[in-house]
Amino acid sequence: MQEGKVLPAAQINRDLLRSILETPRWFWPVVSLLGAIVLAASITVGIMINTGLGITGLNYKVVWGFFITNFVFWIGISHAGVMLSAILRLAKAEWRRPATRAAEVLTIFSLMTAMIMPIIHTGRPWRILYWAFPYDFARGIWPNIRTPLVWDPSAILTYLTSSTLFVIIALVPDFAVLRDRTTGWPKLVYTLLAMGWEGNPRQWKLQIIAGVLLSALILPVFVSVHSIVSWDFGMAVAIKSWHSTVFAPYFVVGAVHSGVSAVVFAMILLRWAYGWQDYIRHEHIDALGRLLIVVATGWFYFLVMEIIFGIYGLEGDELAVRALQFLPGDYGVAYNVWMIVFVGITYFLPVILWLPKAWRRNLWIMSAACISVNVGMWLERYLLFVPGQANKQFQTFTWNDYLPQWPEALIVGATFAFVSMLMLLFSRVFPLVPLYDIKEGDILRTEMQVGRRTLTATFRED
């Protein structure tokens, strides 16, 4: 049964545009704080480019550390947008309505953040241009398309462009609402952005088809992006524990797991910050919690399969890495302890918290579970990438370890501030809950009498 009540359009406008038409007192201090963290990280990146990657913990064995872990983590978060928006739109899930835009916007900002990571990781960011793009006509230098360095940008840029256009197209009707509610230069800007939208049946028909058609087109891109990111590792045959054939679906499901958890947490924060209790309701968080149980269990299946596939071949080098990951040893870093922590906080703890309905409707418990998943998923990537490189390999002969240094910790920490800051700035100028989608849901909502109960239902033709 659906909860909440039908609200007049004027109230929906007033409530959902509050973040734009009124600036809360906490807004600029919070944005400034986040901006200061981002600035500190930017200066650190400058120092790193000037002095070289020697100031990080990266070394001749472990060449992919915090930055690449963070890259995969943010790519994972970006999968929430399409998962929630496209799949639920195609499935006509009514409870998707308040969550779609925040998820799509989180996709865009996560992707942007993810893209920064490998660029600064190279140490010579400007060289990315001729590694990835065929532009250097003068010197006859062309990218080697057999490397994931080319596949990754093609997939990520496609996903970023698609997601951005998806958000912009869905924003056009809301730009028109803003055009009608603002004055002065903001009105001029929103008038330009609204492109003359007036809300006639043809425009609405195209808008509805656009949602479905773009969802259907972006879905394959969504699957391909994390598959290709997984091949960054899968194609590195020399590194044991990386070249598993199950990596692509494992990465995609893991991305959905962390992404949807991040969206749930973001929705709870937005509900609290802007007082959107009538729009982001307990029923929405409850539904997302149920979805997460399924996604988490799917992810856990792939995790177990990945480990079994690794051990099943009984190759000496592979077993050595697995021993490093799972058994106590004298390697300096107790990976086995981190492994237990990671599986516990990524699967067992949150799923236990999501099982009772009352807990799924408790926003504190849901927030804790979703944060737990994301800390765990970050650890998952770290524990997947680093031990494989630390292991003794053919022609390297020695073991080595990786101890991240302060520049990496600061930059990685600042990426969270960066995404939060961008989300807040977005909410200051554009509505984070789609107005027309909420209004459409209210139009289609009705009450039906079943015996002695009056139930709220939504009717929709196919």
Partner 1 sequence: MAMPGFLQQLRDAMYPPSRKQAILGLFQDAESAATAGDALKDAGVPDTDYDFLTDSPYPEGSLGEREEKHRLYLYPFIGALLGLSSGIMITAMSQVAYPLVTGGKPVLSLPPMAIVCYEGTMLGAILFTVIGIVFESRLPKFVLGLYDERITQGFLGLRVNAEPEQRYEVIQIMNSAGAVEVKTDQ
Site string for partner 1, 418-457 (x = CB under 8 A): -----------------xxx-xx--xx-------------
Separation CA 378–CA 123 (nearest Å): 23
What character string, x for contact with partner 1 (CB under 8 A) and - otherwise, covers 169-208? x--xx--xx--xx-------------xxxxxxxxxxxxxx
State residue 455 phi and psi, 5-degree precision: -110, 145
Q: Identify the H or E element spanning 33.
A: helix 27-51
How far apart (Å, rounded) are the C-alpha atoms in residues 98 and 111?
A: 22
Residues 132-151, interacting with partner 1 (CB under 8 A): 134, 140-147, 150-151
For 314, phi then psi, to 5°, come to 55, 40
Rounded-to-integer distance, Cα 376 and Cα 332, Å:
21
The CB-of-203 to partner 1 minimum distance in angstroms stands at 5
Number of chain positions touching partner 1 (CB under 8 A): 63
Q: Return the range that interacts with partner 1 (CB under 8 A); candidates 83-91, 110-118, 212-220, 253-261.
A: 212-220
SS3 state at 1 = coil
User: Cβ of residue 29: shortest distance to partner 1, in angstroms?
Assistant: 32
Minimum distance from residue 148 beta carbon to partner 1 (Å): 9
We find the least distance from the C-beta atom of residue 426 to partner 1, in angstroms, to be 20
Q: Cβ closer to partner 1: 173 or 350?
A: 173
How is residue 337 written in tokens? 């302890």
Please pick, from the candidates 21, 39, 43, 213, the single residue that binds partner 1 as defined by CB under 8 A. 213
2: helix, strand or coil:
coil
What number of other Cβ atoms are within 10 A of residue 346's Cβ?
27
Question: What are 230's two structure tokens?
Answer: 């997984």
What distance in Å separates the CA atoms of residue 150 and residue 373, rounded to the nearest whole number?
Answer: 31
Of residues 12-41, which lie at the interface with partner 1 (CB under 8 A)?
13
* Structure tokens given for 204: 């609405």
Element (H, E) at 453: strand 453-458
How far apart are the C-alpha atoms of 276 and 371, rounded to whole Å? Answer: 21
Binding mask 362-401 for partner 1 (x = CB under 8 A): ----------------------------------------
Rg (CA), the chain: 24
The residue range among 48-56, 213-221, 251-259, 396-404 that interacts with partner 1, by the rule CB under 8 A, is: 213-221
- CA 159, 165, 169, 170 torsion: positive or negative? positive
Among 394, 395, 397, 461, binds partner 1 (CB under 8 A): 461
User: Does residue 210 bind partner 1 (CB under 8 A)?
Assistant: yes
122 near partner 1, judged by CB under 8 A: no
- Which residues contact partner 1 (rule: CB under 8 A)? 8-10, 13, 134, 140-147, 150-151, 154-155, 157-158, 161-162, 165, 168-169, 172-173, 176-177, 180-181, 195-210, 213-214, 217-218, 220-221, 224, 228, 435-437, 439-440, 443-444, 460-461
